[in-house]
Amino acid sequence: MLKSFIREIIGAPPVATDPCPSLLGFRNTSYVLVLFEGGDDDRPEMQEQLLENQQDALSAHDIAIVRVAGGGVFTSLDQAMEIEADEVRHDLDGPSPEEFEAVLIDPNGTTKFRSREPVSVPFLTDAIGRLPTEL
């Protein structure tokens, strides 16, 4: 009882209440476009073409790219991350490893949209611009 009272006063640890604990490293710093890159079709390649040479626009809008491919998690620069693919899939209720999906996460860790089709940078920036601002 004392423990629950203390938790009520100081709050639960952030990981316990975070909507996407596997991406906690991005919290309060950027939007994250998570790309679940299934191998059964050409949508991952189409998505890569849409993001090609767009790093400046992504940076200007504080959008980080995280790719979940097979059993690994990678940055947009193909650097492996210390995150488990299954954790990201679980946290975001992601598709099977064979399927493609793009998921935009806001800086608070909340899912803002999902798409089974590749998304362009103008589409992302427009979607972010239409999101309500928090006080």
SS (H, E, C) the chain: CHHHHHHHHHCCCHHHHCCCHHHHHHCCCCEEEEEECCCCCCHHHHHHHHHCCCHHHHHHCCEEEEEEECCEEEECCCCECCCCHHHHHHHCCCCCCCCCEEEEECCCCCEEEEECCCCCHHHHHHHHHHCCCCC
Exposure of 53 by Cβ count < 10 A (0-12 exposed, 13-18 middle, 19+ buried)?
Answer: exposed
Report domain extents, the chain: 20-130
Q: CATH second-level architecture of 20-130? A: 3-Layer(aba) Sandwich (3.40)
Confidence of residue 135 (pLDDT cuts 50, 70, 90): very low
Pairwise CA distance, residues 59 & 33, whole Å: 12
Q: What is the pTM of this model?
A: 0.82
Express as a percent the part of the chain with pLDDT over 70: 84
Mean pLDDT of 57-81: 86
- pLDDT digit string (tens) for 13-44? 444 577 889 999 999 999 999 999 987 789 99
- pLDDT digit string (tens) for 37-58? 987 789 999 999 999 999 999 9
Q: Which two tokens stand for residue 114?
A: 């999902």
Express as a percent the part of the chain with pLDDT over 90: 60
Residue 96 CA: distances (Å) to CA of 73, 103, 106: 14, 14, 23
Confidence of residue 61 (pLDDT cuts 50, 70, 90): very high
What distance, in Å, lies between the first and last C-alpha atoms of the chain? 34
